[in-house]
Amino acid sequence: MSAAEINSAVNAIKTDADLGPGALFGNIDLREPSPQEWRDHLAGKAFRREARLNISHLDRPGVWMVFVALDNGAITFRRHFPTSHSAFQVEQLLDVERKVKADPNFIEACRKRGITDMTGVCVDSWSGGNFGDAGEEGHMVSYVHCWLRLYENENFYAHPIDGLNVAIDVKTGEILRIDDHGGPPIPMIDVPYDPDFMPTRAPMKPLNVVQPEGTSFTMDGHAIAWDKWTLGIGYSPRDGIILHDVRYDGRPIVRRMALGELVVPYGSPERGHYRKNIFDIGEYGFGKFNHSLKLGCDCLGAIHYLDSHFCGLDGGVITIEKGICIHEEDTGVLWKHWDFRVDRTEVRRGRRLVISCINTVGNYEYGQYWYFDQAGQIECEVKATGIVDTMACDPGEPGKFAAEVSPGLSAPIHQHIFCVRMDMNLDGGGNSVVEANSYAEPMGPTNRFGNGFYAEETTLKTELEAARKANLDTHRTWKIVNPSKLNALGKPVGYRLHAPDCVTPMTNEAGPSGIRSNFIRNHLWVTPYNENERYPAGEYVCNSDGSDGLAEVVKQNRNVENTDIVVWHCFGLHHVVRPEDFPVQPCISCGFSLMPSGFFNLNPSNDLPRETNKASVLALGEPACHC
Ligand SMILES: [Cu+2]
């Protein structure tokens, strides 16, 4: 959405007699067209742009979902969700810190730990979950965790004030309860990563990425064309990057794809840490924790940037300049063959288009990178960096749920589980998902020497059939197909979901966090398109009850064969923390790919021309002759 569109939508709310007075603005995004609306649009029928806003009020419970038509500012839809809450806004996180630090009982609890100057106390507003604690009912609860900064700009995550937590209403700022669980003393060892406080090694020689003739992509607004790919690049304060109408050589593959949720379950049941189960997308909206990227630091080479726009709690437009980075990367050899009999070699270097941004949610940063290669593959990589969540421990005794990263400082075991939502559109509507499992043929007349094995395909016909886990025993894979469009071999065209980073969830399904994050129970879900089923943990995740999570949604057991389907894939990182993850963690990554599997009749990059990069040189000159 443009800044002007946001202003127009906000203005429509502010001037509404019911919603306007005291309106608090949450996430704002575009209502996106349904598959049918999209087909009509492609056929020439106009589609009305509408903003979707979440509005709440200090003196009223719940949240309103409101649509505003952007052509005339009319409110076209409003619905009240009386027990739900909007996602956290940045102003609220800062307000929580101010309120907690000013509370006399909290100040007294800090004093008991030897803190007499509150200046360095850092209060992180963690989402409160839904634990049924007395006094929390109906509130938008945050359960805060605290750290101590020893001096200006110091790495405060080295000094957890462990065991001191506060339950606070994020919306009203009312402190509901202070929990002093006790705990080990504050670790006081300084562990910097900022070169202002530590020596650095000598720099290496420059490594430049140079594209003397410019880049090979073109932009028309938010539509990009590169090699044989075309797509639209959107952005929302919740999802971050949203890719629309992804096509290769004009053939549609995905109608919309974006990360729908990220949950980070932590494994320590000790003190207040049992509540750490944070939904970075649903509860915070990690899209709005986007920040400006720096040319030559975050991004290397010839870069095109896009800005992102959203609004603050008061409805004012917030613009993050240069938050979305677009560039090309060399990916090494794409394909090669040496015909040794005639000594002929054909080699093609690969290149990819990269669309990326970095979002920081509290201690962690997440870089989302969408890659498009020349052989028809779409890849999503998420890089996790930043600072691990920390706890205090007695030196040498982190306990079984954490790893010590510095004497007296530990980090709980945890997972980062993402769920991508993909509205599939392989060669037009009417898609299905096929599962392949491989089996070894028993030894016998059909397999005399025991070498036989084969893959068997099954179409997943209903939502419950399509709720699937990875299985290494059968090398299970999933493929999205269009049964009405056949390739040259007479098979339905397809794209395989390459899913190398399936994570086994450790959160008990019956516990408060397991109920709310029920989408992590499977690695694959398939649902028929429904405009209201946008997110894997539900529309409103703060203090949710899990009732609109994917595991509940699929109980409708609707048909998912040869229709407009949405494919959801859960992937992530199982993070047993290492000392090397501290004080700042080198990127660890996870992701998935959509890989053509019968979509083309042969390698679509077969026709790449021969090329030799003329800027490449011998690094150390001609090798010395030893003959
Ligand atoms: Cu981690």
Residue 411 CA to ligand 1 center (angstroms) comes to 9
- Domains of the chain, CATH where assigned: 3-81 (3.10.450.40), 90-180 (3.10.450.40), 217-387+414-423+452-575+584-596 (2.70.98.20)
Q: Which two tokens stand for residue 239?
A: 């999802």
Ligand 1 centre to CA of 206 (Å) is 31
Give residue 443 CA to ligand 1 midpoint distance, Å: 45
Amino acid at 62: G
pLDDT for residue 47: 87
Name beta bridge partners: 357: 368
Q: What three-state secondary structure class fits 131?
A: coil
CB hemisphere CA count around 261 (13 angstroms): 30
Rg of the Cα atoms in the chain: 26
CA separation for the pair 573, 298 (Å, rounded): 23
Position 624 scores a pLDDT of 72
Distance, CA of 508 to CA of 521 (rounded, Å): 10
Give me the average pLDDT of each 10-residue run along the chain (627 residues).
94 97 96 93 92 96 97 96 95 97 98 96 97 95 98 97 98 97 96 96 96 96 97 96 98 98 98 97 94 94 95 96 97 98 98 97 95 98 97 97 98 98 96 98 98 98 98 98 98 98 97 97 98 97 96 98 98 97 97 98 97 93 73
Distance from the alpha carbon of residue 576 to the mean position of ligand 1, in angstroms: 8
**Integer Cα distance of 26 and 238 in angstroms:** 10
d(CA 432, CA 493): 11
Spatial strand order in the sheet of 164-169:
121-124, 141-148, 164-169, 175-180
Burial-class residue 85 by CB neighbours within 10 Å (0-12, 13-18, 19+).
buried
If one counts every other C-beta atom within 10 angstroms of the C-beta of residue 348, the result is 18
Task: Characterize 231-253 residue by residue with b for buried, 16 or more Cβ atoms within 10 angstroms of its Cβ, and e for exposed.
Answer: bebbbbbbbbbbbbbbebeebbb
Distance in Å, CA 387 to ligand 1 centroid: 9
Which residue in the block uniquely carries the two structure tokens 């001609």? 622
Calculate how far, in angstroms, residue 373's C-alpha sits from the geometric centre of ligand 1: 28
Q: What are phi and psi of 28, to 5 degrees?
A: -125, 135
Secondary structure in 3-state letters for 184-237:
CCCCCCCCCCCHHHCCCCCCCCCCCCCCCCCCCEEEECCEEEECCEEEEEEEEC
Contact, 373 vs 350, CB < 8 A?
Answer: yes
Q: How far apart are the first and last CA of the chain?
A: 67
pLDDT (0 to 100) of residue 139: 96
Catalytic residues: 280, 364
CA dihedral 89, 95, 99, 101 (to 10 degrees): 110
* Phi (first) and psi of residue 439, to 5 degrees: -135, 145
Distance of CA 233 to the CA centre of its chain: 16
Q: How far apart are CA 509 and CA 503, in angstroms?
A: 15
* Ligand 1 centroid to residue 486 C-alpha, Å: 43
Q: Which residue in this structure is represented by tokens 């505003």?
A: 68
- Cα–Cα separations (whole angstroms), residue 242 to 258, 422, 423: 5, 10, 11
Q: Give which of 58, 24, 164, 182 is closest to 103, Cα–Cα.
A: 164
Is residue 401 within 8 Å of 555, Cβ to Cβ?
Answer: no
Ligand 1 centre and the CA of 413: distance in Å? 8
